[in-house]
Structures are given as C-alpha cells and as structure tokens.
C-alpha cells in the first residue's frame, strides 16, 4: 500500500426537517457540492457514538454514561435503564454503540465503555443487552469482554465497534497512553484490535488462537488509539483511523496478525517534541495507507455509498476533533488518492460520522452542549 503524506498542517429527511431551525442551519461550499448543515437534535452531553435503528430513530451515547433514543423528529428520550455504569473520567465514559447484524430478530445492542474495576483501576469493556419493545431499557445486560490489564490512567480507551460480514465483532482498544510500549506485547489487549463473537469469545480464525502466551481475541497489534473504524463496502475489510501523538494520525487496513508499529515506528513525535521509537519504518511492521502531519485528531468515520452525494461515492468521511472539520478522503482500491477538508467554518469538534438510511451524512459534535447535525445537498 502506498503511504500518502499530507504536508498541510426521503421519508427520514422529511421527518427530521421540523427541528432544523433557521438559526441552526449553515450553507457551506465544498469542492464538489454546496451543502446545508442543520441541527437535528441538541442538548447531548459529549455524545460519542450513534447507530440507526431500522425505523430511522437513532441510539446515541453520551460520555457521562447515558444512552438515549433520538426520535425521527429530533426529540431525546429519557436515558435508557439497564446501561452498564461507565467510568466517566478523562477521555473515558460510555463510548460506542452498535446494533447486532440480527437486530430485527434479536434486538441486541452492544456498547463499549470505560469500566471501573476497583482499586482505582479501569479498562475498556463491551456489554450487550436487548432493547425492549418500548425503547426505554436494555434488558439482560451483560459484559461480554474486558480489556486486560486494567490501568489507573484515564486516556486512550479506543472503543469503536464494527461487526464483520461473518457476524463477529471488531473492538478497537487504546494503549492507555502511558503504557504505550505494551502495544507490541501480544500477551495483553493494550493497543490492539480484537475480534470476538457476539457472546465475547475469541472469533474463529483469529491469528493467536492457539499460541501460548498471547491473547486469543487479538486481531492486530501496534495501535495507539483507534477511534474510527468501518468496513469497506465492497471488500468487507476493516479500515481504521487512529490518533497519533504530534503528527502521525493514521489510516490503516488492519489485517490478521499484522503489526502496525506503535510505538516503534510513527510519523509523529512526542508532545514534548522528542522522537518516538526508531523512525518511520521497520521490517515486519506495516505502513499506514495515509497519515496526517500535523494531526487532525480523528474520530468517527464512514464510507459514503449513498445517492444524495454522487460525487462522494467511495469516499471516506472522517471527523476531526482538534482541527474541527470533516476530512473527505478519496480512494482507489486500497489507496487514498486525495483529501478535501470540509466544514471548518462550523467550529465544532466532530466526534462521530455516519451515513443515515436516507443517504444524508450525520455528525456528532463533541461538546457539553453536543448536537446531532445532518449534512445534505443545498437546494
């Protein structure tokens, strides 16, 4: 794969429309199309992840520990009961949410969260529960996976959830910031992507299943803090975007058993300016498909496949926290061929990006007064 370095630092639509108030609407120009960005819902405290229900409503997590249903007219439900208690410290809390591929049949919802394990220590965990028919609770909630070891720090939880085409669940796990050397150690879950069955067991065909001294859930190693992940719509491969330090945010296509280098190789430097690791390349370690220097602080991604933005089909839309924008990456096979930076005028930290069932693009803003935004073509 070629690394491309960037040197520059409709029923659902009609139903949502009444809440898009004039003062919450901006018209913005992009390279390919003029867009309108409008507020669908507001008053969410640091929303982190969202998933569309079959009827067009959304499940949205709030980092302090709440899971809500957002109706098609933008109203927020009361927080659902049955949600596991989240360790809301630093970057931790209630994080991503994903529906079971068989949701129409089993109504299972999966959430990732920072879990207090006692003694001042915590780790990323995944729980599942059944959304009741009233949409007010998760029933029979149980934790199916726990990152080991736990740690006292409050940063780098990772935590995106993506189901593969076989119904197994990818979970991205951060290096917990000051344990970064452990991202190279296959005996633990730090700085790893794991692949588990819906009940939390190691998925079949994982690379370390029968290897002594390793964790059988591991899919790939050498990651820093992956907060964006999605399946490629054609190949079914997992693509991820992860945070670098100062520089070195990466797009990767994590493959079975491979090593993505952190912290031995990186295109970034430490926050102090000190060099990290051995450089930018080493035999046996994978190069990113694309990277940013300086960092944009990426979070949330979606492959665009809809019909509302034909010129964007095949693009990856990536949210950015520090840069307060949406990055549109043009792709050709397993390569990134160009980038457009959009929505800088919003001035919002973008935490998650999803394509809605209506073909429009939905964004979560990371703020104590967070919003759900919808991006649609201008009239």
Catalytic residues: 156
Residue 275, number of CB atoms within 10 A of its CB: 10
Beta bridge partners of 303: 316
Q: Which of 229, 244, 220, 207 has the alpha carbon at shortest distance from 323?
A: 244
Contact in structure between 83 and 126 (CB atoms under 8 Å): no
C-alpha 17/C-alpha 372 separation (Å) is 13
SS3 content of the chain, % helix, strand, coil (to 5): 5, 45, 50
Mention every residue, 6+ apart, whose C-beta is less than 8 A from residue 370: 42, 43, 44, 45, 46, 47, 62, 351, 364
C-alpha 36/C-alpha 28 separation (Å) is 6
Contact in structure between 188 and 176 (CB atoms under 8 Å): no
H or E stretch at 96: strand 94-99
Structure token digits, residue 17: 């429309």
C-alpha 256/C-alpha 205 separation (Å) is 9
C-alpha 346/C-alpha 329 separation (Å) is 19
Q: How far apart are the first and last CA of the chain?
A: 39
Strand 4-6 with 290-292, pairing: parallel
C-alpha 318/C-alpha 301 separation (Å) is 4
Mention every residue, 6+ apart, whose C-beta is less than 8 A from residue 284: 259
Residue 83, number of CB atoms within 10 A of its CB: 22
Instruction: Give Cα separations from 48 to 68, 117, 225, 313, 372 (angstroms).
Output: 12, 22, 15, 25, 11
């Amino acid at each position: 794969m070629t690394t491309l370095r960037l040197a520059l630092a409709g029923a659902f639509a009609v139903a949502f429309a009444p809440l898009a108030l004039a003062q919450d609407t901006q018209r913005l120009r992009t390279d390919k199309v003029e867009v309108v960005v409008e507020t669908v819902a507001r008053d969410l405290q640091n929303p982190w992840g969202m998933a569309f229900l079959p009827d067009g409503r959304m499940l949205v997590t709030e980092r302090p520990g709440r899971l809500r249903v957002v109706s098609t007219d933008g109203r927020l439900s009361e927080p659902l009961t049955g949600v596991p208690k989240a360790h809301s410290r630093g970057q931790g809390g209630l994080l991503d949410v994903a529906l079971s591929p068989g949701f129409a049949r089993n109504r299972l919802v999966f959430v990732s969260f920072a879990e207090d394990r006692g003694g001042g220590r915590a780790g990323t965990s995944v729980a599942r529960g059944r959304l009741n028919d009233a949409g007010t609770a998760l029933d029979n909630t149980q934790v199916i996976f726990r990152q080991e070891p736990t740690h006292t720090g409050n940063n780098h939880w990772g935590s995106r959830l993506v189901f593969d085409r076989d119904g197994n669940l990818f979970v991205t796990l951060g290096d917990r910031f000051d344990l970064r050397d452990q991202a190279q150690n296959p005996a633990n879950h730090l700085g790893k992507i794991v692949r588990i069955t819906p009940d939390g067991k190691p998925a079949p065909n994982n690379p370390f299943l029968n290897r002594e001294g390793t964790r059988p859930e591991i899919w790939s190693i050498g990651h820093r803090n992956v907060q964006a992940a999605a399946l490629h719509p054609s190949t079914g491969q997992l693509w991820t975007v992860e945070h670098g330090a100062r520089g070195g945010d990466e797009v990767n296509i994590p493959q079975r058993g491979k090593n993505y280098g952190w912290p031995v190789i990186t295109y970034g430097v430490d926050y102090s300016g000190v060099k990290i690791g051995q450089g930018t390349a080493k035999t046996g370690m994978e190069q990113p498909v694309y990277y940013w220097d300086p960092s944009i602080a990426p979070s949330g991604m979606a492959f665009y496949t809809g019909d509302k933005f034909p010129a964007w089909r095949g693009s990856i839309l990536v949210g950015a926290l520090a840069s307060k924008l949406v990055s549109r990456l043009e792709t050709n096979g397993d390569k990134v061929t160009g980038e457009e930076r959009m929505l800088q005028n919003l001035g919002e930290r973008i935490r998650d990006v999803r394509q809605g069932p209506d073909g429009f693009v939905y964004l979560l803003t990371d703020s104590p007064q967070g919003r759900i935004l919808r991006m649609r073509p201008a009239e």
